[in-house]
Structure 1
Amino acid sequence: MQEAHIFSSTLADLAVASLIEEVSLTPKPGLVDQKDQGSHEDLNYSMMVKSANCLHNTFYEMARVAYREKPSQYLREKIGEIGRRGEKAMYQVTNGVNTHKGAIWSLGLLTAAAASHKEACGELVLCFTAGEIAKFEDRFIPSQITNGIKAINRYGVNGAKVEAQLAFPHIREISLPIFKSSLNNFGYEVAKLRSFLALMANLDDTCLLHRGGIEGLDYAKQYAGIVLESGDLNELQTMNEEFKKRRLSPGGSADLLAATIYLYKVCQMTLSEKMQFATIH
């Protein structure tokens, strides 16, 4: 199906572009950006971009398998299978460093949701469709204890899995509304920074918990909230230095920021396509 191929390719393009926009956003306290490596000794900007680009086929395959398909256990397991292949491709490019495992999960589900609907629809519809897919069991997930799972078990917080199953509440209720309002008031780049700060101020980020415990999480949340409230984005430079001292990295917030950017791009694209179709016909 040529239509399925074109649509799936477009979704994959947007997913990769969103990941590259996330890592390119500068400055991001504790995270890799165009200025420095943040709190990561084993990551750099070039590696993150290569990792994002190598995932194009992963997102394309997820879109193809989900094209016009309703949420189901079969679809969930196919996406999981494709995602695990994507992780292997990522690790080959990064020599074993985890760059985008969380993003494969969140953007993968949203890609499947967008392909499932095909027609133009809003960000909230895509979040809830992705949530429906995430609720199905994947019987083939290998048993493994990740840093995120350790943080979830130790501190009793929701991780990326539950965030998706709840239809991404931190995107629907926090980052997307702030992104859209900031887009009108401040422009695109500032909107992304404000959305990122809002996520950090509200999310129980398992990456922060893993590196800094409850104290580190609370510190990051409070600091992000203060900067967001003040509107002084120059403070992000100082914030980055403080995060590096404490080895703090809000990786979960970064994943949801990429997902927020992606949702916006997908819905702008589908709305534009629909308008063009109406004009032609």
Structure 2
Amino acid sequence: MSIALRRPSLPGRRLDAEQLGHLASFSLRLEVEIYPKPGLVSHIDDGAHRDMDAELLCRSADTLTPFFCDLAAAGAEGAGMSRLRAIGVAAERAMLDATSGVNTHRGAIFGLGLLCAAAGYRNAIGVRKPLGRLVSERWSEDILSGPAVLRSHGALAARRYGAGGARTEAAHGFPSVYDVALPALHVARGLAPHDQEAIRVQTCMTLIAAVTDTNLLHRGGAEGLHFAQSSAAAFLAAGGVGSPGWRRRAADIHHAFVARNLSPGGSADLLAMALFVDRLEL
């Protein structure tokens, strides 16, 4: 089933809070539309998931739009972490109501939400710093010292395997977005300049190869993470989307992930964040 993507009207890069919120939601929908991406839900199939599909993920993304708008507006008003966290909690509650309890976008609410707040703040004070740096400068201490989601799959895997997880990523300014995903997007545009899906597949594979994804650790342990990273790295080493037959090879990796019940949900969230940031910091 193909998803009808409603591209927001975004004149220029200095966007108001409503435009930022719609861009964040649109970035989540773009991630869903990509295929083949290993183990993840797309408009083609449900990947390694039994509790969600593309329609559910898009409904979730649309449900979150007003909360992303609120986070951008709060950032513009100089809000502290307590206010941002309250909006995030309300967003998670609305997400769970819309999905009948399925956790579709908890990680994205956190990461994209902070980036929305930083974008609103940046517009309000008129600086040109990267959004990730602003997140780190303004909220890193509160991110690390605030209440953790103790029973989330990612948090449990992070504690068990000593991985940093989403809070460490955000507190340090999203290095996986800035040092991995954005450079990969730029390289991919040279490999497949007229194929947006290929560009995003290449970026997704680069993230999977490089990131210690706590979703992979939860589903497959250290062995599953190693399999995922080595599979994505082999795809990239063979030329990635710049080589003939790349779609077949990417689909084979996808099916291998599904057979092992592996889904790199953290990398999917980071890809959506990178698409958001890329639109604002070109």
TM range (shorter): 0.7 to 0.9
2:222 maps to what in 1? 214
Q: Offset at 1:137?
A: 2.0
The answer to whether the aligner puts 1:168 opposite 2:174 as a matched pair is yes
Aligned 8 A contact 1:201 1:220 in 2: yes
Structure-2 change in CA distance of 1:120 and 1:261 (3 Å): farther
2:60 maps to what in 1? 51
Q: 1:253 aligns with which of 267, 270, 274?
A: 267
What's the TM-score, normalizing by structure 1? 0.87
The answer to whether the aligner puts 1:197 opposite 2:205 as a matched pair is yes
Q: 1:107 aligns with which of 103, 107, 112?
A: 112
1:39 maps to what in 2? 48
Return 174-183 or 254-263, whichever deviates more: 174-183
What's the TM-score, normalizing by structure 2? 0.87
Q: 2:151 aligns with which of 122, 136, 145?
A: 145
Aligned 8 A contact 2:40 2:263 in 1: yes
Identity of aligned residues (%): 35
RMSD: 1.7
Q: Which structure has greater helix proportion?
A: 1
Q: Offset at 1:68?
A: 5.4
Aligned 8 A contact 1:33 1:45 in 2: yes
Matched letter for residue 228 of structure 1: L
Aligned 8 A contact 1:182 1:194 in 2: yes
**Partner Cα separation in structure 2 for residue 136 and residue 77 of structure 1:** 12
Q: Offset at 1:134?
A: 3.7
Residues 146-174 of structure 1, C-alpha deviation per residue, up to 9 Å, x if partnerless?
11111111101110000111111111111
The answer to whether the aligner puts 1:28 opposite 2:37 as a matched pair is yes
1:89 maps to what in 2? 94
The answer to whether the aligner puts 1:78 opposite 2:83 as a matched pair is yes
**Partner Cα separation in structure 2 for residue 156 and residue 190 of structure 1:** 33
Q: Offset at 1:131?
A: 2.0
Aligned 8 A contact 2:149 2:155 in 1: no
**Partner Cα separation in structure 2 for residue 91 and residue 28 of structure 1:** 25
Aligned 8 A contact 2:80 2:139 in 1: no
Matched letter for residue 176 of structure 2: H
- Number of residues of Structure 1 aligned to a counterpart in Structure 2: 257
**Partner Cα separation in structure 2 for residue 84 and residue 102 of structure 1:** 12
Structure 1's unaligned 5+ residue stretches are 1-5, 269-281
Matched letter for residue 111 of structure 1: C
**Partner Cα separation in structure 2 for residue 117 and residue 137 of structure 1:** 19
Q: Offset at 1:181?
A: 2.3
2:237 maps to what in 1? 229
Structure 2's unaligned 5+ residue stretches are 1-14, 241-245
1:238 maps to what in 2? 252
